[in-house]
Amino acid sequence: MRGSYAPVTEEVEAFDLRVVGALPDGLNGTHVRNGANPKHGPTSHWFAGDGMLHGLRVSDGRAEWYRNRWVRTKALDGVNRMDMSTGTFDRTVGLANTHVVRHAGRILALEEGSFPNEVSPELDTIGPCDFDGRLRTPFTAHPHTCPETGEMHFFGYELVQAPFVTYHVVDRDGTLVHTQPIEVGGPTMVHDFAISRNYAIFLDLPLVFDLDLAISGGMPFEWRPSYGARIGLLRRDGSGAAPRWFDVPLCYVFHIMNAWDDGADGRYVWLDAGRHASMWDGGPHKFEPSLMHRWRFDLHTGEVHEETFDDVSHAFPRIDDRRAGLSNRFGWAVAPRDPSDTSMEAPTGIVKYDLATGSRTFHDFGATSLSGEPVFVPRSTDAGEDDGYLVTYVLDKATESSTFVVLDAADMSSPPLAVVPLPQRVPLGFHGSWFADE
């Protein structure tokens, strides 16, 4: 956690920030991004830092405020989530450092080893959320909300005892209404999953927890090819039936773009995601590139068709969330400015994928800039799939400064619509959301 990843040490806030350009009419809400920002000294890995939220509030053409806040978790106060003598975990203890989402009026700071931590719209911590005692497992950092039913689908994975994966559904009003164990081969690390209109899609891949590694203080996951790799399709109808599993070549997936059903009889299910050929094979800093990959599952024959449709690495793929589980034409991700530069400090911009034409376009922030995850904001509730804006934080290595940037999502070649200089550097982090005014 050095350079562009180095933590900031202060919580600050500023009001009525300067805007270069013009914030679009109707763009009213708050962009909040989460990331690992250790408070009490160095950590063993980027994933192990305390969660810090960075928020920028926009209203009526004004950048009303910026503030950053640590999520005030029990871990921040020094409570250990794992009892080393028994290998058991306290699910109310977590780092809350990976994502932040809103559902049924709650804003939840997430990381996959614990319960969510609820925070206020001003980024103050309220505390762990277990959905009135119904949640008994960890909560993924990547829930997905169905745009048709309003349900939030998520899962939790366990590391020391079965069931190692459990699927959950929270209804549109915020009540946990469905819980189902998913049988997998062992304590696999499951970072993301997907939904289509009819299925929840699970990844059972060979990145496996090892208790001895955890007790020794090292990275607790190892690449284990003998585990195998498969993808499971579970009916979303609540029947309780087991997933249908499809074997696939060895790989790992951190982040999924989208999934959807196709064909008049629902014969095919499609999945687009960033595929790594392996993960941490030889050490916790051994990353194979993430390439945009497509799986097509034939429910009649049981066959799987695969293809990689972009040979340039990417990170943090996003879509218009109104298309989650439905076919999408467009997607966006962070991509290197120079594809041959694979260093962690490589300058990055935002790539737009047009899945109908197979084309990709790139927005370049400059030779010293690194982009955060792009988040799509529709221009209006009935706007088209790319009719709106991309919002993100951009860090300039040359000046050690950060900006909030608004792009026209339909025209990646145009300059930013608005740039808001921020009062402090925002380290490179993980995931975020736009919370439109309700």
CA 294, CA 273: separation in Å to the nearest integer?
7
CB 258 within 8 A of CB 325: yes
Q: What is the pLDDT of residue 285?
A: 81
CB 249 within 8 A of CB 229: yes
Q: Which of 167, 66, 99 is nearest to 421 (CA)?
A: 66
Return the beta strands (E) in 71-170 as ranges. 82-83, 88-89, 99-103, 106-110, 117-119, 125-128, 144-145, 152-157, 165-170
Q: How far is CA 285 from CA 44, 100, 242, 296, 398, in A?
A: 11, 25, 35, 31, 25
Contacts (Cβ under 8 Å, ≥6 apart) of 233:
199, 200, 201, 243, 244, 246, 269, 297, 299
CA 409, CA 420: separation in Å to the nearest integer?
18
Q: From the CB of residue 327, how many other CB atoms can be counted at a distance below 10 Å?
A: 15
Strand 230-235 versus strand 199-204 pairing type: antiparallel
Residue-wise pLDDT for 82-114, tens only, equals 776 666 789 999 999 999 999 999 999 999 999
Q: What is the pLDDT of residue 215?
A: 79
Q: What is the pLDDT of residue 87?
A: 66
Residue-wise pLDDT for 17-67, tens only, equals 999 999 999 999 999 999 999 998 877 777 889 999 999 999 999 999 999
Residue-wise pLDDT for 108-143, tens only, equals 999 999 999 999 999 999 999 999 999 999 999 999
Strand 51-59 versus strand 29-36 pairing type: antiparallel
Name the helix (H) or strand (E) containing 13: strand 13-17
The residues pairing with 351 across neighbouring beta strands, listed in sequence order, are: 333, 362
Task: Find the mean pLDDT for residues 169-183.
Answer: 98
Task: Find the mean pLDDT for residues 197-216.
Answer: 92
CB 406 within 8 A of CB 390: yes
For 287, the 3-state DSSP assignment is strand
Structure tokens at 44: 């063993």
Ramachandran angles phi, psi of 198, nearest 5°? -115, -10
CB 231 within 8 A of CB 295: yes
Structure tokens at 124: 């103050």
Structure tokens at 19: 């805007």
Q: Which residue has 């350009």 as its token pair? A: 21
284 confidence band (pLDDT: 50, 70, 90): confident
Task: Find the mean pLDDT for residues 294-317.
Answer: 97
Q: What is the pLDDT of residue 48?
A: 84
CATH numbers and ranges of domains, the chain: 3-436 (2.130.10.10)
Task: Find the mean pLDDT for residues 204-232.
Answer: 91
Ramachandran angles phi, psi of 80, nearest 5°? -85, 130
Q: Which of 76, 66, 77, 81 is nearest to 97 (CA)?
A: 76
Task: Based on DSSP, count helices (H) and strands (E) in the chain, helices before strands.
Answer: 1, 35
Structure tokens at 128: 């762990």
Contacts (Cβ under 8 Å, ≥6 apart) of 58:
23, 27, 28, 29, 30, 31, 64
Residue-wise pLDDT for 66-81, tens only, equals 999 999 999 999 898 8
Task: Find the mean pLDDT for residues 133-156.
Answer: 98
Positive or negative torsion for Cα 169, 175, 177, 179: positive
Q: Where are the alpha helices (DSSP H) in 176-264?
A: 211-216
For 75, the 3-state DSSP assignment is helix
